[in-house]
A and B are shown apart, each in its own frame.
Chain A
Amino acid sequence: MEEEEQKRVLDLVKELVLRLVSNSSSPEEESTIESEKALKYAMRILGSRMTPSISIDEASMAESIKRHLVNEGKSSDALTFADLHTKFSSKSGSGCIQNKWSVLYLLKVISEDRRKDKKSDSRVSSGFFASTVSGGLPVLVDESSCNSRKTLDKSRISNGNGGVLLISKDPENIRDIALRDFANLLKEESEIVEGCLVRDVLYVSQGIDGKYVKFDKNLDGYVLLDSIKVPKSMRIMVRKLCELGWLFKKVKAYVSESMDRSPSEDVGTVGQAFCAALQDELSEYYKLLAVLEVQSVNPIPMVSESTNSGSYLSLRRLLVWFAEPMVKMRLMAVLVDSFKALKGGAMAGAIHMHAQHGDPLVQEFMRRLLRRVCSPLFEMVRSWVLEGELDDIFSEFFVLGQPVKAESLWVEGYRLHSVMLPSFISSSLAQRILRTGKSINFLRVCCEDQGWADAASEAAAAVGTTTRRGGLVYGETDALEALVTEAAKRIDKHLMDVIYNRYKFKDHCMAIKRYLLLGQGDFVQYLMDIVGPELSEPANTISSFKLSGLLESAIRSSNAQYDDPDILDRLRVKMMQHGTGDRGWDVFSLEYDARVPLNTVFSESVMARYLKIFNFLWKLRRVEHALIGSWKTMKPNCISSHFLTKKDCPVKSQFDSTLRRCQVIWDEMNHFVSNLQYYIMFEVLEVSWSLFVEEMEAGEDLDDLLAAHEKYLRSIVEKSLLGERSQTLCKTLFVLLDLILRFRSHADRLYEGIYELQARTMESSLSIRGKNKSKPRSTKEATEFGSWAGGGRKALTQRAGEFLRNMGHELDRIANEYSSTLEGFIGQLPMQQHVDLKFLLFRLDFTEFYSRLRVST
């Protein structure tokens, strides 16, 4: 195989030699020896393995040929060539030339050689041409390499007309001479070679002072020493290049400062990640510098090996090389500058703001940084959402935890730290993140539940992100959102399950409604009956233990006894703070102990409002109870109807009218109280409750539940006139209720008096028969009556008339006061904002009795 190849090459060489040498029309026999010689020579050349180092690039080769043609002023040829070349390079398939580049190369070299031969004097142009081929500007030839050329030129110029001839013959030469002059000029102007400056710039861009370029503290920048004489353009260029060094120094200082700080200081994990990312960028930069440094030593690779050019890197080339690192370094310096005071989420947010940039380079760079910077942040989110752990020693996370009691864990335990919230996380998402972690913590601390772990891992599996670390990166906000949504959904569901099923939230709500809001009628009735006498005593003499016992018996004697003992256990008597002169009624209340975790919903403030409602309802009940109690005595009976016979006519009619008056007032009051009671029960409590139940069932998380409960409570407070806005109305209402109680005591006194009189009449009639039997009376009235006893029938009737008159006056006063207050109350009602209060008005003034009354007055 090898041999065959050799043979083929030999054949080709023979052919070539024959073509090139013996083609020259010399006689066959003569040339054979010569061609023999030439063949040997050819083989030697072929064996010599001279291979110039040039890169294989067909397009650039073609380009250089074209440019050369144009330079020679043969632009039509150049066009033809371009056309030919496109055709040539588009050829493919079997049979055509594979190594197209080499053919081009060969042709070019041959053509170059030929031109050299043709114009024996245009040796310079070959150098020129070579540099064109290398793809750059003409190289400024340095002294050593062009010495020979110079001498040649000089001799020619001294020749006189030869030079003129040459110039006219070859337009290239003018440019060439100009270039050379320029090179000389440069040489004169600058003391140092460009290469040294390049090396210095490379040093400086690593933050190290070079030999000629040093850091100037006054100017705060790197400058070329004044003592060195270089052209101004070069000085400016060096200055431009040295900006990179200055920026680098800044970034480097920040990184090393942050890295060196002890971990206890507040760099934070995000800050550390930022530094690491910067470090990575810097190491990329170092790589570039290393490559450049190598390049600065290497010469430019040339197509033709003959020319000796300067080092590859010039200041201008460096300028190009440094363009991109300069942009990056500037960005880094800007970031470093603006982030000195920032940390954590705030830092990530700030970088994110920088990433909103139109330049894809900047965008990409920032994204890369962010991916690194955000990883600790996302890790925090992940562990918070899936494990409820807040491992944030440097307080960088946008959720802040603070140690609180278990019952306020949900409300106050954690909050969003808006400064640390990076802008790429929306506030609704942040809320959801906060709530999910909070739910986990709530479950763990308050509910002592472990099931959330399953829910969390289930959520993670559903999203596809495993629960391990580093699953989330910046830029995948969707993934984050999906994870949070899934986790929130499951954990909230689990939490609601726990609250409803294990802690029976609904049952407790129901219990509070039944006992604290007096929904359980028979229980309230019994309780009122039992504790009534006790509560009439002054507040400071009442023992709450006794009341607890009474509560117990009320429970046992009502249907409440069938309730869950757990619920009944939580029901307690509470005595409020009492002042002097308070009765038991003023301080008595019931209390419900919700316990952890339900006291998150039934917090102290909520319970205080329940207490307020309870007091109101309790008072209303008491008034109703009192009215019903007085009805028992006021019912028409034989005593009242047989009291005083016809003989005492004026007194009898007075008696009848007083009783009648009493009945009328009672009826009016009863109308008011029962309608108010109805309104409270049906328009307020039950309506609010059914709305609450609906919302409770629709609620997906604890926040919804809290909101629903809050709404429920607020609507009760507002509708039952206990709110802020209806304070005056409420006061009027309480005055009314007090009046009713006063009426009750008067009515009681009236009837007591009547019974006493009746008894006296019987007694006196008996005493007429000679049997004086007066009982000792403890009450004042009784002694009064006692004194009448001896007075006889007439005196008795007189006394009765006087008593009735007094009572009548009293009643009148109460009635007047009551009707005026009620009028005020009804007058104020329509001014209330709440729509449902209208129903109360309709109900109270159903026959328009009051409104007509008001119109008439």
Chain B
Amino acid sequence: MDPEAFRNARESLELDFQTTNILETGLDRHTLSVLAAFCEKGLQSRVAALVKELRRESQTNPTTTPAAPTFP
């Protein structure tokens, strides 16, 4: 990967992350990057459902607490 592309990717991700924070989705950088990869494959709507389900799953689980918004 050439440095230009790398820089680009980084910046995009950073922008995404800030957007995420504004929207209070409670996702961290890593998760966001994974989700972005999904989106690139065009699976956005399914992944959205997946995220929703997984969250609910972890919520129902008493040991887990809802992922609070993580600020950098």
Chain A interfacial positions (CB closer than 8 Å to B): 9, 12-13, 15-17, 19-21, 23-26, 34, 38, 41-42, 45-46, 48-52, 65, 69, 77, 80-81, 84-85, 87-88, 91, 93-99, 102-111, 113-115, 117
Interchain CB contact under 8 A, B54 and A38: yes
B46 touches A50 (CB 8 A): yes
Contact status A95-B6, CB under 8 Å: yes
* Nearest neighbor of A42 in chain B, beta-carbon distance: B50
Specify which chain A residues have a CB less than 8 angstroms from the CB of B66 in the assembled complex: 117
- Residues of A near B41 (CB, < 8 A) are 9
* In the complex, chain A residues whose CB is within 8 Å of the CB of B23: 65, 81, 107-108, 110-111
CB atoms of A50 and B12 under 8 A apart: no
Choice from A23, A45, A88, A108 contacting B67 with Cβ under 8 Å: A23
Given contacts A19-B34, A107-B19, A114-B25, 6 further A-B contacts (CB under 8 A): A20-B55, A24-B61, A24-B64, A46-B46, A95-B12, A107-B16
CB distance from A117 to the nearest CB of B (A): 7
20 A/B residue pairs, CB under 8 Å, sorted by A:
A19-B28, A20-B55, A24-B61, A24-B65, A26-B63, A50-B49, A51-B46, A80-B18, A84-B19, A93-B8, A94-B2, A94-B8, A95-B5, A99-B40, A107-B25, A111-B25, A113-B52, A113-B55, A117-B59, A117-B66
Contact indicator B52/A96 (Cβ below 8 Å): no
The digit string for B1-16, where 1 denotes a CB below 8 A from any CB of A, is 1101111110110011
Interface of chain A, helix or strand or loop or mixed?
Answer: helix
Q: Which residues of A contact B53 (CB under 8 A)?
A: 41-42, 45
Contact partner, B16, options A15, A52, A103, Cβ 8 Å: A103
Give the docked Cα–Cα distance between A42 and B48 (Å): 11
**Quick check: A95 and B4 within 8 Å, CB to CB?**
yes
| Contact assessment for A106 and B48 in the assembled complex, using a CB-CB cutoff below 8 Å | yes
B44 and A102 contacting across the interface, CB-CB below 8 Å: yes
When the two chains form their complex, are residues B35 and A16 in contact, meaning their CB atoms are under 8 A apart? yes
Q: Is the CB of B18 within 8 A of A20?
A: no
CB distance B46 to A114 under 8 Å?
A: no
B12 touches A88 (CB 8 A): yes
A457 to B58, CA, bound (A): 89
Q: Quote the shortest CB–CB distance from B32 to chain A (angstroms).
A: 9
**Known contacts A24-B65, A99-B39; A15 and B34 CB within 8 A of each other:** yes
Given known contacts A16-B50, A19-B34, is B57 in contact with A95 (CB within 8 Å)?
A: no
Residues of chain B contacted by A81 (CB below 8 angstroms): 19, 22-23
* B39 & A84 in contact (Cβ 8 Å cutoff): no
Rounded to whole Å, the gap between the CB of A252 and the closest CB of chain B is 47
- A19 adjacent to B1 (CB under 8 Å): no
Task: Known contacts A20-B31, A21-B58, A97-B36; decide if A87 and B67 are in contact (CB<8 Å).
Answer: no
| Chain B residues, CB < 8 A from A24 | 58, 61, 63-65, 67
Chain A residues within 8 Å of B11, by CB: 91, 96
Q: Which residues of A contact B40 (CB under 8 A)?
A: 97-99, 102
- Which residues of A lie under 8 Å from residue B1 when comparing CB positions? 95
Which of chain B's residues have a CB closer than 8 A to the CB of A17? 54
Q: Which residues of B contact A48 (CB under 8 A)?
A: 46, 49
| Contact present for B42 and A99 (CB under 8 Å) | yes
- A20 and B67 within 8 A (CB): yes
| Nearest-CB residue, chain B, relative to A81 | B22
Q: Give Cα distance in the complex from A104 to B36, angstroms.
A: 10
In the bound complex, residues from chain B placing their C-beta under 8 Å from that of A113 are 48, 51-52, 55
The answer to whether B31 touches A16 (Cβ under 8 A) is yes
Q: How far is the CB of B49 from chain A (nearest CB, A)?
A: 6
CB of A640 to closest CB in B, whole Å: 137
> Please, which residue of chain B has its CB at the minimum distance from the CB of A46?
B46
CB proximity of A597 to chain B, nearest CB, Å: 84
B23 → A minimal CB distance (Å): 4
Q: How far is the CB of B62 from chain A (nearest CB, A)?
A: 11
**Which of A84, A91, A106 is B18 in contact with, Cβ under 8 Å?**
A84
A25 to B49: give the CA distance in the assembly, Å. 23
CB within 8 Å for A110 and B52 given contacts A50-B45, A87-B15, A88-B19: yes
Q: Among B25, B26, B51, B57, which residue has its beta carbon within 8 angstroms of that of A41?
A: B57
Which residue from A52, A85, A99 sits with its C-beta under 8 Å from B19? A85
